[in-house]
Structure formats: structure tokens, C-alpha cells
Structure 1
Amino acid sequence: MEYIAKLTKLKGKELSFESLEDINVERLKTVFGTSDNVEGLITFKDKRALSDRQRKLYRALLNNIYEWSGEPTDFLHEWFKEEYFLDKGEKISTANHSTNSKSDMNELLDIVIDFIFEWNVPFKKGYELLPKNESWYLYQCCKHRKCAICGKKSDIHHEEGLVGMGNNRGAYNHLDSKFISLCREHHVIRHTMTWKEFEELYKVQPIKLDDKTLIRLNLMSVKQVREIKENENGTTTD
């Protein structure tokens, strides 16, 4: 269930929002059993107009897909716009007069990059334009095990460097950890320098992964995630 709201107060970790639409409380109770203590995901939207850099990246990625598939870029453009509409329930325009925001365009790019990773489409020049310092891109690299630096097949690198060095992988709480997807070559390079040096050189940074992604990548099991959350909430399961 998604609702649009405006941030009205921010103090440390305490946030207050004013909903811009009516919330169906009864549906909340039906889905969650209560309207109290419901967890949600907060997304801050960048309402600035989409940029020429985003358009340039979008066109480059469509050209990559065209060279791989043979489908005309006009067809691909309309197809991805339809995918966006089916996912978001609203239309998007990349034209110069577009009223869509940078966040909207990032969501469209997310769909395109997801397609490219899923089908192993060669990046070529489009890869050089990817915003490697943005979390949505870094997430896709982890999700599809693609190197965040070169796009090659990769493994998930644990920021703290603890896993695989005498630690129990199954017992480690990855919900509090940060990750980055690196191929073997860049993984080796990473260990020749500090994290700060590595981040400054390649303009990338590790990110946290949600529980569903950790499970999907076999970094944690459903049981491990459930037990950690139950311990945090002070509950137990028979």
C-alpha cells in the first residue's frame, strides 16, 4: 500500500508526515491486523525537472539495447514508457517540455537498467554514463551481480570485510551491513587500498540491502531475517 505524504517535521530519527490523500484505515487493519506499528518505506522524491544528462543516458541505453536486439529505439522507447505506466499507474515523458521530475526519470531508467542486467545486454558507451554514485544503480548491480565499476559478472563484497575471515556467515547480521558488487579484478584492487581511497578513485560506495534482496542473493535465509527482527522487537517464535 502506497500513499503520498509531505514531510512536516524532522528531528533526528523522528519524522512527521502529512498525508496528501485519504488513508484507508480499515484496509490497514485488514492487511496488518492493526493500524498501529505498521512499518513502511520512505522515498524522498526529487521534484526538480529531469535533466539533459538523464536524457543522454536514457538514449545511450536504448541504443545499447537496439544494437543487441535489433528493435528500433522508437519502439523500445514506447515499450519502456508502457512498462513505467503499468508499474506506476501514470505516464511519463522525456521530451524537453516534460513536467516529470528527476525522480520520475530515475524510475524509468531503473526499469531500463533492470532489463539490461536481466538480459545481459552489453553496456558499451551507455555504461560510461551510468550514475555510479547513486544508490538505485548500486542496488541493481548487487541485485544482478554485476560489477559496479565495469559491468562484468561479479560477487557481492561485504564492506566491513568480516565475512569469510573466520566469521560465521550464517550468524552475521547483514541487515546492518553495507555491500558493493565487484568483479574479481576490482575486488583484488579494493584490497590494495582503503575504502576511502577506493571510493574516491571509482566514485562508488557500498549500500545497505533490504531483507528481501539479502534473501534473494542467498546472503541471509528467511529464518535468519525473521529471528533477527523478532529479537529486535522482543518477541519469540515457537
Structure 2
Amino acid sequence: MIQEHVLGEIQDVREDGTAVITAGLPDLDRALLRQYKRVEIILPDGRRITAEQRRKVYAILGEISDYVNGFRDGDALEETKATMKMDFMLKRMESMERRLFSLSDCSVTTARSFIDYLISFVIANDIPTKVSLIEQCEDVSQYMYACTYHRKCAVCGKAADIHHCEGSRIGAGVDRTKVHQLGREVLPLCRVHHTECHSDEAGFIKKYHLQKVKLDEALCKRLKFKK
């Protein structure tokens, strides 16, 4: 349990990668009584949200607001923003970092995580978007994972089949319910893009800037694949 929260400054970084940090104690007597020995350190990103990240956030929030409210105006967008920020703080932020943040000056890391959270929300709730989500995402691997988990095509967002990549394919005529699939590499693709992928998998992945997804236990359970 965290007892106290103090801010410190990095005074020096040594060649072996260790840092010298100084921090003031709010109550010296209490510190001596509790005999503090170890501390947990958070290293906040000193970079500020970029204009491109801010554009992505508001574009996705606008899509969510349109879908939820059936229209878009300033009040509806602000309400959607407040709701999504609160949900993000509760579900994605670590307890020590959980605090209000502003889209005008939050860190690059917070903006990146918020964008990925919004995209996952859109995928999970089947919200239509005007712009391809892969063009908006900050972390392609997280985007691909979310698409696989919810069986959404990573290219167009339509309902997807699970394409087993070269080296992870299951032979024709084999009962897939009896084949272990943990660790196999896949792509979530609609019928049209699945067919396109089969003609040149490597070229297809490069064309659409995709990443293969390795099936873990959570995905196997979700997709009802044998581990």
C-alpha cells in the first residue's frame, strides 16, 4: 500500500544505467518512525501531446459521439470526452498514476495510451468509422490484438475470419477443434481481404502495414480454439 507520494528530481544518470534521485520528505519524523527503506518510482514522460495525437483523439471521440448520440455538437462531444476520459482512468491507468489529465498538455505516453484505448472501445462496440482505425492507432500490435479478440477485419473493420499465417497453418481436412493453436500466428481478415492475403501473404502484410498476432491463452479462449 502506498503511504506517501513525493516528487523528486534525477540529479545524475550513471554509465551503468542507474540514476541518482533526490526527493524531499514531507515529514522527517514520520519517515524515521516508519523506517522507509525502499521506494517505488514512476518516470513520467516529459514530452507533451503532439498536434497529430490531439487530432486523432478528437477524430475518434467524434465518431463515438456520432454513434452514441446520433448527432454531433460541441456539448455532445464534450460529454463523450469526459465519459471516455473517466473510463480510461479507471480501467487503464495504474493506481499511482490515476489522475485527471488534459488533452491540451498531457504527456505523449498518456495520449498514446488514450488513443489505443479509444480504438479498442470502437472495435469492441462495433462503432462505424469514416477513417480506417489502423491509420489512427499508435500501437499496431495492440490494434491487431483487439481486432483478433473481437473478430474484426484489421483492414476494413468488417466481421473477420481468422487467417493462419505461413508456418502456422492447419492442413486441409484437419479438424481444427482438435489442433493445438496456442502460439500460432494469425491475422483477423474479412472474406475479401482473406482471399487477397492468400495470394501473397508477405506482400499483403506490407501493403496494409499489419502485424501478425500470436495466439495466447486469452485469445484461444475467446476464439474457442484448443490451446
Task: Name the TM-score class by shorter chain.
Answer: 0.5 to 0.7
Paired letter, 2:58: R
Whole-Å separation in 2 of the counterparts to 1:207 and 1:139? 6
Paired letter, 1:150: C
Do the aligned partners of residues 170 and 47 (structure 1) sit closer, same or farther apart at CA in structure 2, a change above 3 Å counting? farther
Do the aligned partners of residues 20 and 130 (structure 1) sit closer, same or farther apart at CA in structure 2, a change above 3 Å counting? farther
Q: How many angstroms does 1:76 deviate by?
A: 1.0
Deviation by residue 1:51-96 (Cα, 9 ceiling, x = unmatched): 3332222111111112212271111111111112212231253533
- Does the alignment pair 1:207 with 2:213? yes
Paired letter, 1:63: G
Q: How many angstroms does 1:174 deviate by?
A: 2.0
Return the match for 1:178 from 185, 191, 214. 185
Do the aligned partners of residues 97 and 189 (structure 1) sit closer, same or farther apart at CA in structure 2, a change above 3 Å counting? same
1:155 alignment partner in structure 2: 161
Deviation by residue 1:147-206 (Cα, 9 ceiling, x = unmatched): 10011111111113622524342443322211111000000001111x221111111121
1:52 alignment partner in structure 2: 51
Which shows bigger deviation, 139-148 or 205-214? 205-214
Q: How many angstroms does 1:112 deviate by?
A: 1.8
Paired letter, 1:82: M
Query: Structure 1 unaligned runs (5+)?
Result: 1-7, 10-18, 23-44, 226-238
Give secondary structure in 1 for the equivalent of 2:163: strand
1:95 alignment partner in structure 2: 103
Say which one has the larger Rg: 2
Paired letter, 2:90: L
- Does the alignment pair 1:21 with 2:20? no
Residues 10-159 of structure 1: pairs in structure 2 closer than 5 A = 21=40, 49-70=48-69, 72-87=76-91, 88=93, 89=95, 90-98=98-106, 100-102=107-109, 104-125=110-131, 127=133, 129-131=135-137, 134-159=140-165
How many residue pairs end up in the alignment?
180
Paired letter, 2:54: R
Whole-Å separation in 2 of the counterparts to 1:157 and 1:169? 13
Paired letter, 2:188: S
Cα RMSD over matched residues?
A: 2.9
Give the TM-score normalised by the residue count of structure 2.
0.68
Whole-Å separation in 1 of the counterparts to 2:45 and 2:148? 24
Whole-Å separation in 2 of the counterparts to 1:67 and 1:55? 18
Give the TM-score normalised by the residue count of structure 1.
0.65
Whole-Å separation in 2 of the counterparts to 1:73 and 1:84? 16
2:21 alignment partner in structure 1: none
Deviation by residue 1:88-122 (Cα, 9 ceiling, x = unmatched): 23125353322x342x3333223322322232211
Would the aligned equivalents of 2:48 and 2:105 in 1 still touch at CA under 8 Å? no
Whole-Å separation in 2 of the counterparts to 1:133 and 1:82? 21
Query: Structure 2 unaligned runs (5+)?
Result: 1-15, 18-37
Q: How many angstroms does 1:215 deviate by?
A: 0.6
Do the aligned partners of residues 173 and 156 (structure 1) sit closer, same or farther apart at CA in structure 2, a change above 3 Å counting? same
